[in-house]
Amino acid sequence: MKVFRKIRRKLLDAGKLKNYLAYALGEILLIVIGILIAWKINDLNEIRKNKIVELKIYDSLYEELNLNLVTLNSSIEHYSDDIERLEATINYVGLAPDEITLGAKDTIALLNFKEVNLLDGALNSVISTTKLEMIESDSLKKLITNYPTELGEFEMEVAEIKEIVDNNIKPVLEEHLSLSDILPKDDPKYYTIKNFGAESNYYKLLQDKEYQNSVISRLIHTEKLLTLAKKLRSRTQVIAIKLSHELGYPVNS
């Protein structure tokens, strides 16, 4: 700046007004260009920082969704087994006491309820903060925004089945079945309970209207849950694939 002031002073002292004005305008233009360059560099730095944050968001979501995929795959297999077992249980209704085999008894007594906990920490962190606006892809943003609704439907159905098992099926099972059935037959420690304790009555259990209705209700809700789980798995896979593209990860076939 001292150098510029000396040049301007010399031009003024020499009476070269036009040269002074032209030089002053050039100096102003140079300053403006410098400001614009600095502004542009600052914008590029902000874009770079935002991109780093965006990739971190993608990475945390990608990891969470892949863990959910593992859980959903396992759950879908589990629900399919549950449906087969519940259908078999319904078909045992009407059998004579001597026709109810040991395998049938095991099927009837096995509640096999499994709670499912899908992760949503990273998802909620994105949706409930300004992180969502940092995601550039509109299609990805829409998928992420809609995901909690589908996740909620799935969790509500899981809760519904848990209520049926805890409040309807378990009490009836405890009324008609004895836990002594699961104790070793040849162990002398359990001789008394095995020979003089209350016996299980599978025939009476199967004839119980409340039990029949509860099993049918659980079957219907499990079929619905299986459909929701497959839909949620598909949606989770779509989001994970889009995230992998953004992150530059290879997509698993």
Q: Tokens 């001292």 map to which residue? A: 2
Residues of the chain with pLDDT under 50: 253
3-class DSSP state for residue 186?
coil
The confidence score (pLDDT) of residue 4 equals 52
Percentage above 70 pLDDT, the chain: 81
- The 10s digit of each residue's pLDDT in 175-207 is 999 878 767 777 788 778 777 778 899 999 999
The confidence score (pLDDT) of residue 71 equals 96
Amino acid at 57: I
The confidence score (pLDDT) of residue 133 equals 79
Put simply, whether the predicted model's pTM sits higher than 0.85 gets the answer no
